[in-house]
Amino acid sequence: MANMNTLQGLKFLDLSHNCIMQMDGMTYLKSLEELNLQSNMISKIAGLSHLVRLRVLKLDENMIDSLDGAESAVALRELHVSKNNVSEK
């Protein structure tokens, strides 16, 4: 994703249905509380450690096969991952 450093106060971001392949470029979104990345092409949960206020993450309908990386979102209360290929290890 393009550099988003001018959006530091953003609380809600909907980037669903955009053919996004990687979760990156969100370092400056420290106020973000809800992120919708549904229906993209994301295969790995990453780049969440800087999103210290993120409570809701929607990743339904992607290509995710593991929840690894979600633990770095310390304030996360809701994680939506339906219609992915997540399996128990």
**Is residue 14, in this structure, part of any structural domain at all?**
yes
What mean pLDDT is reported for the chain?
A: 92
**Is residue 46, in this structure, part of any structural domain at all?**
yes
**Is residue 39, in this structure, part of any structural domain at all?**
yes
* Position 69, amino acid: G
**Is residue 89, in this structure, part of any structural domain at all?**
no
**How high is the pLDDT of residue 70?**
95
**Is residue 36, in this structure, part of any structural domain at all?**
yes
Band (pLDDT 50/70/90 cuts) for residue 7 is confident
How many Cβ atoms sit within 10 Å of the Cβ of residue 28? 15
> pTM to 2 decimals?
0.91
Can you give the residue range of the structural domain that contains 29? 1-83
Mean pLDDT over 18-41 rounds to 95
As for how many domains the chain has, the answer is 1
**Is residue 88, in this structure, part of any structural domain at all?**
no
Q: What's 75's domain CATH number?
A: 3.80.10.10
**Is residue 9, in this structure, part of any structural domain at all?**
yes
